[in-house]
Amino acid sequence: MFGESAGAISTSLHILSPITRHLFQRAIIMSGAASKTLCTSTDAESVWYERAVAFGCGSASDGTAHEFTPEMIECMARLSTEDLLKARGLGLSRCELDLMIDGEFVPNNPLELLKSGDYKRDINVLIGTVDNEGSMFLGSFIDPIKFNKWQPLPISYHDAYEYAISFLTGFHRLPHTGSQQVVDTYFNGLSNETNHEVLIQTVGRLVGDLWLTCPTKLFARYIHSGHPKSRVYEYYYNAKSTAGHQLFCSDWMGVCHFDDIYPVFGLPFQEYDRYDRRERQISAQMIDVFTEFARNGQPPKQSGADWRPYYTVNDNTVIAPYYEFTVEPKVNTNFGLNCLFLVLLSKAVIKCETKNANTIVSVRVTNGLITGFADQLYGVKINAFLGIPYAEPPVGDLRFKKPMPVREAWPKPVGATKWPKACIHA
């Protein structure tokens, strides 16, 4: 099993869940893991209770223990889209970005499950993170104008520092003193003379470390310590593409979240003219690494050197070797322990299957006809359907309600030959 970002967090939850942990033997976790405290339904209700009061749909004295009254829910349902969007101005809550503890699939907070050893312990895991996990999120969660994807505004050292402080104290509600110490560590050596893109990337790196990098590495350390037969391997992706603007990542964002997905799925071969020879080498190399790990539970040697798993010295000190994917070869090798690196050039190649998108296929389901396309995956013919609607849109009477299955027949065939537009949580 493997996943990236939300998929990585989901993969780690399958390792923790008593319902699914026995269904697989290996996992690849890319940029994200469930190793922190999640929200309960009570936490989420409290957040939206406070916002309902702010919207004028109740007062602090309404309800008991932050329970919504029917009148409050009716008032919220009458709010305009613009009013609801103003909720972002009240500050995002981690409950809007986290999964929930349901008591079954996720029986307890992930960190408590890890501390108690209540997870799949005899497992091999490959984890990976990129150089700047947080830069692509700055526009969404801090300031969409200052951190515009295509044209960010110049910011001063003071602005960048305050953005970092407010992120820690506001979004994560960390104490100001501790937050200042963390930010001082990241901003050490920077000044008013520092280039504004460096300042922006520093804020992004702090955000990414807190959200994604540190939880991933912490999860890996628990897996390593949980069973003597478990093996944890790590890579660090630091290869900025020359292919121009990627789907999510602009040039100023550095090597950002999702950048390692393109080579894993062979995009440098599928869009051959957009990528250079070295990027195709990296893509072939990563595909080889992922395939070998899936088959045998460990990555292959790189230029004759073993890819070492985590190991422990002096009973409690975890040493975490990693392999760094880079565009430019480094001195010696790309393997590293702290500040030591190793270099490698892979000669592996892949054979890419081509999609015959002109062959349309249809299937009839309860609500009507869906059209997809015929495809091939590793020589196997399949029919693909992308973005099948499963629930009524959450508008009108369905706002703030549980998802409702599609109720009426579709008046015409639903096209599922390409992914529909999706929000950031999709």
DSSP assignment of 87-147, as one string? GGGG---GGGTS-B--SSSS-S-HHHHHHHT-S--S-EEEEEEESBSSGGGHHHHT-TTTT
Q: How far apart are CA 146 and CA 135, in angstroms?
A: 12
Looking at residue 217, its pLDDT comes to: 96
Any domain includes 384: yes
Average pLDDT over residues 277-290: 96
Q: How far apart are CA 98 and CA 188, in angstroms?
A: 31
Which residue's entry shows tokens 């499963």? Answer: 390
Any domain includes 167: yes
Any domain includes 59: yes
Q: Are residues 144 and 204 in the same domain?
A: yes
Any domain includes 87: yes
Q: How far apart are CA 26 and CA 113, in angstroms?
A: 19
DSSP assignment of 166-196, as one string? HIIIIIS---HHHHHHHHHHHTTT--TTS-H
* Structural domain ending residue among the three candidates 194, 211, 228: 211
Q: Are residues 146 and 201 in the same domain?
A: yes
* Structural domain ending residue among the three candidates 155, 187, 211: 211
Any domain includes 323: no
Any domain includes 374: yes
Burial class (CB in 10 A: 0-12, 13-18, 19+), 97: middle
Buried b vs exposed e over 231-249: b needs ≥16 C-beta within 10 Å? bbbbbbbbbbbeeeebeeb
Looking at residue 230, its pLDDT comes to: 95
Any domain includes 86: yes
* Structural domain ending residue among the three candidates 189, 211, 233: 211
Which residue's entry shows tokens 């579709």? Answer: 410
Looking at residue 119, its pLDDT comes to: 96
Any domain includes 394: yes
- Domains in the chain, number: 3
- pLDDT digits 0-9 by tens, 84-132: 766 655 555 666 556 778 889 999 999 999 999 999 999 999 999 999 9
Q: What residues form DSSP beta bridges with 373?
A: 360, 384
Q: What is the span of the domain harbouring residue 180?
A: 139-211
Q: Reading across the β-sheet that carries 322-326, which strands appear in turn?
A: 2-4, 26-30, 124-130, 231-238, 322-326, 335-336
- pLDDT digits 0-9 by tens, 1-52: 999 999 999 999 999 999 999 999 999 999 999 987 677 777 778 878 888 8
Q: 254, 204, 309, 212: which is closest to 3 by C-alpha?
A: 212
- Per DSSP, helices labelled H in 209-316 are 214-226, 261-264, 267-270, 277-296
Which tokens hold the place of 31?
Answer: 């940029």
